[in-house]
Amino acid sequence: MRLCCNNEDGGAGMMSYASLEIVTMLALLEYAALGLMVGRARAKYKVDAPATTGNPEFERYFRVHQNTLEALIVFIPAVWIFSLSVNYQIGVALGVLFLLGRILYANGYLNAPEKRGPGAIVTLAINSILMLGGLGALLIAAV
């Protein structure tokens, strides 16, 4: 349990962030797994480090990993700020959807780059909701 400014019913007191912490750790684990996949693809397609181009199949793995990092750098602070400033349960649910969206994105991109769209849209939509909602709540609180 951690001391928090507000618990789920809006009152002061203790609150556990376990669900949010789990979502955060799963996002990091997902990213690490994609990194391992890049390493395997590097060996399979014989793309020696530090090269990141040369084989289109390898490049798909590499781009999935890099694009996930680009989304993750927005997602992690945004999901925490949204969850603690707007609504904890909705923030966690959006976090789970983000994880599923990244799986959809990776699966689409690895099978055919033109199929990455649905996963990319899910990720963009979730990150947008988290950022705008969190920022809105912080601005309202500051006024």
Domains in the chain: boundaries:
20-142
Question: Do the Cβ atoms of 105 and 77 come closer than 8 Å?
Answer: no
> What digits encode the pLDDT tens for the residues 103-118?
999 999 999 999 999 9
- Which CATH number applies to 20-142? 1.20.120.550
Tracing tokens 């994880």 back to the chain, one arrives at 99
pLDDT score recorded for residue 4: 44
Structural element, H or E, at residue 77? helix 56-85
pTM of the model: 0.88
Count of residues in the chain? 143
Q: How far is CA 103 from CA 12, 42, 50, 124, 125, in A?
A: 37, 20, 26, 14, 15
Question: Which residue in 71, 68, 84 sits closest to 21, CA to CA?
Answer: 84
The per-residue pLDDT for range 64-111, each reduced to its tens digit, is 999 999 999 999 999 999 999 999 999 999 999 999 999 999 999 999
Given a cut of 90, whether residue 8 has pLDDT beyond it is: no
